[in-house]
Structure 1
Amino acid sequence: MASVLRKAIVGCARQLPRCMIARRRSTTSGFAAVDSILLRSLRDHYEEVAKMTPPPKVSPPSSFTIVKGALDTHGPVLKRTYGSEQISIYVTRLGNIIRGGDNDDDDDDGINQLFLHVEMSKPGQKNSLLFLCGLYPDALGIHSVSMRPNLESEGILVVPSQYTGPSFQDLDERMRDALHSYIEERGVNESLFPFLQAWLYVKDNRNLMHWFRQVGQYISGKNHAKGT
Structure 2
Amino acid sequence: MGRFGAVWKRALSTKAAGGISSAVDSIILRSLKEHYLEASRMTPPPKVNPPAPFKIMPGALEKQQGPVLRRSYKDEEISISVMRLANILPSGAGDDDEDADDGINQLFLHVDVSKPGEDDALHFLCGLYPDAVGIHSVCLRPKVMSPGSLRKYSGRVFQELDEKIRYGFHEFIEERGVNEALFPFLQAWLYVKDHRSIMHWFKSVGTFLSHHQPSS
Q: TM-score interval w.r.t. the shorter chain?
A: 0.7 to 0.9
Deviation at 1:106, TM superposition (A): 3.5
* 1:206 partner amino acid: R
Quote how far apart the aligned CAs of 1:76 are.
Answer: 0.6
Whether the 8 Å contact between 2:81 and 2:109 is mirrored in structure 1 is yes
In structure 1, what is the Cα distance between the partners aligned to 2:168 and 2:106? 23
Residue-pair matches, total:
195
Mapped contact 1:95–1:109 kept (Cα < 8 A): no
- Higher percent of residues as helix: 2
Aligned with residue 142 of structure 2, among 133, 144, 149: 149
**What is the distance in 2 between the residues matched to 1:205 and 1:126?**
36
Q: Name the residue aligned to 1:107.
A: 100
Question: Which of 216, 220, 223 is residue 206 of structure 2 equivalent to?
Answer: 216
Kindly report which structure 2 residues correspond to 1:49-60, keeping only aligned pairs within 5 A, or say none. Answer: 49-60=39-50
Task: Answer whether contact 1:95 1:112 (CA < 8 A) is retained.
Answer: no
**Partners of 2:20 and 2:153 in 1: CA distance:** 57
**Residues 94, 100 of structure 2: 8 Å contact kept:** no
Per the alignment, residue 65 of structure 1 pairs with: 55
Shift of 1:192: 0.2
Shift in Å, 1:211:
0.9
CA RMSD of aligned residues (A): 2.2
Kept in 1: contact 2:45–2:188 (CA 8 A): yes
Aligned position for 1:122: 115
Rounded to whole Å, the distance in 2 between the matches of 1:192 and 1:143 is 17
Structure 1 Cα separation of the partners of residues 71 and 126 of structure 2: 18
| TM-score normalised per structure 2 | 0.84
Aligned to 1:89, which of 80, 83, 89? 80
Letter in 1 for 2:112: E
User: Cα offset for 1:220?
Assistant: 1.1
TM-score (norm 1): 0.80
> What percentage of aligned pairs have identical amino acids?
58
Give the counterpart of 2:129 among 129, 136, 145: 136
**Match of 2:121, as an amino acid?**
S
Q: Gaps spanning 5+ residues in structure 2: where?
A: 1-16
- Consecutive unaligned residues of structure 1, counting only runs of 5 or more, are 1-27
Q: Is the contact made by 1:100 and 1:106 (CA closer than 8 Å) also made in structure 2?
A: yes
Deviations 1:6-54 (A, max 9, x none): xxxxxxxxxxxxxxxxxxxxxx971111110000001111111111000
Equivalent pair of 2:131/2:180 in contact (CA under 8 Å):
yes
Structure 2 residue identity aligned to 1:32? S
2:212 aligned counterpart, secondary structure: helix
Mapped to 2, the partners of 1:76 and 1:82 lie a distance apart of 16
Amino acid at match of 1:186: R
Aligned-partner Cα distance in 2 for 1:95–1:166 = 25
Deviation of 1:161 after TM superposition, in Å, equals: 2.1
Shift of 1:187: 0.2
Q: Which residue of structure 1 lines up, in the alignment, with residue 7 of structure 2?
A: none
1:135-191 Cα offsets, whole Å, 9 max, x none, are 010110101001011228xxx9x9522111111011011110100000111000100
